[in-house]
Amino acid sequence: MTRNRSADDLDESGALNAFRRFFALERDVLVLSLAMFAFSLGFQMTNRFLPEYMVALGASGFVVGLFGTAGNVISAVYPYPGGAISDRLGSRYALTLFGLVSTLGFAVWLFAPSVGTITVADVAIRPWIWIFVGLVFAQAWKSFGLGATFAVVKQATDPSRLAAGFASTETFRRTAFLIGPVLAAVLIGLHPNFEVSFRYVLAVAVVFGIVGTVAQHLLYDASEDTLGDSFSGIDAIRRDLREMPPELRPLLVGDTLVRFANGMVYVFFVLVITQFYEVGLDATVSALGRSFAVDLSPEAFFGYLLGVEMLIALLSMAPAAKAAERIGLKPVVALGFSVYALFPVVLIGAPAILSPALSIEWTMVLVFAFSGLRFAGLPSHKALIVGPAERGSGGRVTGTYYLLRNTIVIPSAALGGYLWEFVSPEVAFTVAAAVGVVGTGYFLAFGREFEAYR
């Protein structure tokens, strides 16, 4: 089987093949997309609600910020060795290992409240500490496996169709982002105590992790994996930094500023809904000639808002990837960066601006629909990262890029947590938006296009 054939070379008959042609789905990209779906269900059912879970277990707002920074540390540290492991061992075995570790992390979160408070040398270890421990494991597939996922798409897709190839994986992944929070919202509604109901969510996430790991190991065809050199320590990192394709440098600067801005406030999105505005949904819905009372807690309402966000993301990603083939990757990436930059100030300020015309519930629906547009640029963004890489080095190039970006972003959540706790949420979100606008402007001024899309 030839890996680098374009989607136009596939068989012309059948609805599935039409779907495959549109999204540039080769077999391994399809398998990867299915695994992404399973793990993204587990991660998105849980991760976006973890700050509220931590607060329920006794954590403060500043501790939530530190949790976000811990996630940033993992995001910075994991991709490079993950990419090196992928290039050395092959994507199949690397992703299987990362899947098992990630599933273990979901289990640690599940049993954290059962451990209770432990006293060691007169120091009380609170239950929320185990959320940090679980994060070390749970983020393995997402971050360790980052280089492997990029490499699989690159080796399976024609260069001029990279954005479409990434749109396929992102569509599967973001479908899980749509279903996951909504399913979590349903499960959260089964018990009035959030700490109890969220453990139902975590139990389901463990199941999805197991299914995703087994599926990707059995279905992925590793016969044509390309293997690179083994990891040789700090010297390898220095070499990869020196050899990073020049097209990536302006993208890296702008992306880093945008992600720093997002990192300042990302973990607080749920707290804006559940604590800052304390907005749920109490309404009567008419359907099929009958009226139904809808009473959603703020935590459950947040899950449905995430569903709205992902619905818009799903509707926009594939058309944006197709548009990139006509106008280039850079304009599409810039659109996503712009929404990333503006969303914090829109989220924190829109209810006050729109309150005379709209209820706060519908305002939040519109705000999260706007947020969904930030994902339109993700497939093009990924194509712009991995496109210039040589065959057999896609994992390391991706790992190097994310090592640099995520290392700089590490303190963002702690800074946002400090501003949230000791200044005000409004200041935290406004500063974040300002940083994001600077990053977007830099990319617009200096960003470079990938040659295959010129």
At 354, list the tokens. Answer: 């729109």
What percent of the chain has pLDDT above 90? 45
What percent of the chain has pLDDT above 70? 74
Give 234-243 pLDDT, tens digit per residue: 676 677 777 7
Q: Which residue has the tokens 């009035």?
A: 192
Number of residues assigned to the chain: 454
> Is 280 or 355 the better-scoring residue by pLDDT?
280
Give the global pTM. Answer: 0.82
Closest to 29 (Cα-Cα) out of 221, 218, 223: 221
Q: Which residues pair with 120 in a beta bridge?
A: 123
Q: At 36, is the pLDDT very low, low, confident or very high (cuts 50, 70, 90)?
A: confident
Query: Considering only 46-50, 157-161, 341-345, 416-420, which range has the smallest mean pLDDT?
Result: 157-161
Burial class (CB in 10 A: 0-12, 13-18, 19+), 14: exposed
Q: Which of 7-11, 74-78, 139-143, 262-266 has the highest mean pLDDT?
A: 262-266
> Is 258 or 40 the better-scoring residue by pLDDT?
258
Residue 291 has φ and ψ, to the nearest 5°, of -110, 135
In Å, what is the CA distance from 302 to each residue of 33, 53, 281? 26, 13, 10
Question: One-letter amino acid identity for 215?
Answer: A
123-125 and 281-287: which strand pairing?
unpaired
Q: How many CA atoms lie within 13 A of 366 on its CB side?
A: 15
Average pLDDT over residues 408-436: 96
Q: HEC string of 367-380?
A: HHHHHHHHHHHHHH
> Is 32 or 230 the better-scoring residue by pLDDT?
32
- Cβ-based neighbours of 182, under 8 Å, separated by 6 or more: 303, 304, 306, 307
Which pLDDT does position 394 carry in this prediction?
52
Contact 321, 167 (CB under 8 A): yes
Q: Which residues pair with 281 in a beta bridge?
A: 296
Contact 205, 41 (CB under 8 A): yes
Q: At 34, is the pLDDT very low, low, confident or very high (cuts 50, 70, 90)?
A: confident
Mean confidence (pLDDT) of the chain: 81
Q: At 163, is the pLDDT very low, low, confident or very high (cuts 50, 70, 90)?
A: low
For residue 12, count other CB atoms closer than 10 A to its CB: 9
* Residue 224 confidence (pLDDT) above 90: no
**CATH 3.60.150.10, applies to 26-220+269-453:** no
